[in-house]
Amino acid sequence: MTEEELNGFKELAESINKITREAFIIYEPQVDRIYRNKVKDEKEIEQVIDALLDYCYDDKMLLLFKRICQYYYKINPTVTYEYVMIYRDLWDDEYLDKNEEENTK
């Protein structure tokens, strides 16, 4: 790998980190407001969960996702379960490895 390619990867990683930090600044208050105000609007909650799914590679964003899923579970457990399964399919390596092993048996 050339130094130019390495610098390109570094710039890409820095951009991803910046976008993730900005997303946290946007979504943390939304999750807090939903939780604090006991919001029951499923469409509103699901829009936030959908957005958070894109960032669950980041530990802080994953905590927001888990927090809102725990809250939403009391409102709609079926849809919450579906979101957890989507998370697992996208980001949970242990879950993916386990499923892969079961499918190859």
Q: Looking at residues 7-23, what average pLDDT do you find? A: 92
Rounded to whole angstroms, the Cα distance separating 11 from 16 reads 9
Q: Looking at residues 1-28, what average pLDDT do you find? A: 91
Domain limits, the chain: 3-103
What is the pLDDT confidence band of residue 62, given thresholds at 50, 70 and 90?
A: very high
Percent of the chain, pLDDT > 70? 90
Range 65-71, long-range pairs (CB < 8 A, 24+ positions): 67/31, 67/35, 68/31, 68/34, 68/35, 71/34, 71/35, 71/45
Cα-atom radius of gyration of the chain, to the nearest Å?
A: 17
